[in-house]
Structure 1
């Protein structure tokens, strides 16, 4: 665990408390956290690659906005909204293909997604070349780079309207998908989130480690009222115990992420009322963004 801050005591406490949150957990986890006001950063195994599951949808959205200069058609806006706010897989597939070279339709090569990754400096992210976007390899550090890009003021990759649009969709993610890196966040913050979850099959072509394993990932940005932070937690080795329901593996991963998330926010924002993702979404999470739409 590595934490730095302009407040050395905070850095030490974060490192200790994150380590305690991970102690005894069977999940393999990586994380990257930043808080701009306190110049705080924490990482743990941030360059390890994980199956992305649906957190790759934030990359697809970024690539779409980058390729279109931040201006979407009504059809693209509709697909983007479904992809982020309800995590619609068909919408993600449609946009992935639009951003791909389709010389071989069975293996869409996501060249326009790669162009965005190159521009954003996300060098450790590897899009799946077989068209299975959920198996894109992502790292906590690269996903945190994306959060910093979306929440910052640098126009060199995406303009202000495009960034606002992307975060606006993440604010509108439906309530039952707001778990994970939101847990314990200050309840008065504007909370923007995208999660991903995937259980690998037990097919013969799946690597032995991955068979039946749940990949559970979460990323969140806090804004408003002086908040300016981002957290990414990626997990795997979330196994389903013998004789238990399959969702137990996913729930285990969620619990690991939320233990880390609560420890971080408790230290960085002590004494604040905490957001509980199992409860109703906070009022600040409901505003909608006006999309940059073209006819």
Structure 2
């Protein structure tokens, strides 16, 4: 090959090399750059995707536990120290509160006292103790009247961030409608140190009462805990006259492996109180297990 031929070959080889590096053919037409030639990192998983994964895991865990017939159940669970670390099953459906609304009534009372710059009176404290520790209905009615009834509860819930809860009409505080997600919001307002309209002293007062509920009322979400003695909770149970079926609810803080979790379980359409309690306890245990692994 003569000198001119060698030069032509060198030019062709150089053009081919440059074209390859640029993702083009020697003729200039664009060619796809091989995937193997590009460096890529895995896309980060968003909090929303993690939440959906946990919700799916919770739905799967609950599937064999869900009852046949008329009963419904809803649950929301979260680690106390991480608002994004949670899971929900049917969390936006409305249920009667029954006696779990007593925590909400007490929170409303404390907000009113804070706004007035005063402490609770000795009578209010007596009512609050009986209402939370023993689930006394007469005491709940007295404090319901003190907060301004349904209007007072609804106003307090705006401050507390509850968006799906509506106070019972006609003085029927036990027929207040709520959701599992809203009850988790209320638990955060009571147990968390951030983002609550309640003062530190008010939160400590509610937590103290919820930690001393009567021995025969320490069922429900406590089934998910390492020890019942470390739980702070409030339960609700209500037989419906029209159907004979039971509303059974439980909300509170439990500790598993040294870590606190907030759990709200709502149910209705239970054949008996005992059946409803067993359902709530199974659901609470399964929900916490989704977060603890």
Measured against the shorter chain, the TM-score band is: 0.7 to 0.9
Question: Quick one: which of 56, 61, 72 aligns to 1:28?
Answer: 72
Corresponding position of 2:120: 72
What corresponds to 1:56 in structure 2?
A: 101
* 1:182 positional shift: 1.2
RMSD of aligned alpha carbons: 2.6
Query: Would you say 1:217 and 2:240 are equivalent positions?
Result: no
User: Does 1:255 pair with 2:278?
Assistant: yes
Please state if 1:121 is matched with 2:161: yes
Q: Which has the higher helix share?
A: 2
Which residue is 2:171 aligned to? Answer: 131
Distance 1:253 1:225 in 2: 27
1:33 Cα offset (Å): 0.8
Residue segments in structure 1 that go unaligned for 5+ positions in a row? 101-108, 203-210, 240-248, 271-295
Structure 2: where are the runs of 5+ without partners? 1-46
Correspondence for 1:41: 86
What CA distance in whole angstroms lies between the structure 2 residues aligned with 1:44 and 1:224?
A: 20
Whole-angstrom distance in 2 between the partners of 1:8 and 1:51:
26
Q: What is the distance in 2 between the residues matched to 1:152 and 1:261?
A: 20
Question: Given the alignment, which residue of 140, 151, 165 partners 2:205?
Answer: 165
Q: CA separation in 2, counterparts of 1:132 and 1:7?
A: 35
Query: Structure 1, residues 93-143: CA drift from partner, whole Å, max 9, x if none?
Result: 00001112xxxxxxxx43222221111111211111200111111111111
Distance 1:151 1:48, change over 3 A: same
Label 1:10 to 1:143 Cα distance change in 2 as closer, same or farther (>3 A): closer
Query: Does residue 133 of structure 2 align to residue 85 of structure 1?
Result: yes
1:185-227 deviations in Å (ceiling 9; x for gaps): 122873111000000113xxxxxxxx22211111121359852
Residues paired across the two proteins, number = 243
CA–CA distance in structure 1, aligned partners of residues 264 and 54 of structure 2? 19
- 3-state SS in 2 of match to 1:47: coil
Task: Give 3-state SS (helix, strand or coil) of 1:117's partner.
Answer: helix
- Go from structure 1 to structure 2 and tell me whether the alpha carbon gap of 1:223 and 1:151 turns closer, same or farther (over 3 Å shift): farther
CA–CA separation in structure 2 for the residues paired with 1:233 and 1:142: 11
Residue 265 of structure 1 is matched in structure 2 by 288
* Structure 1 residues 7 and 50, CA gap change in structure 2 (3 angstroms): closer
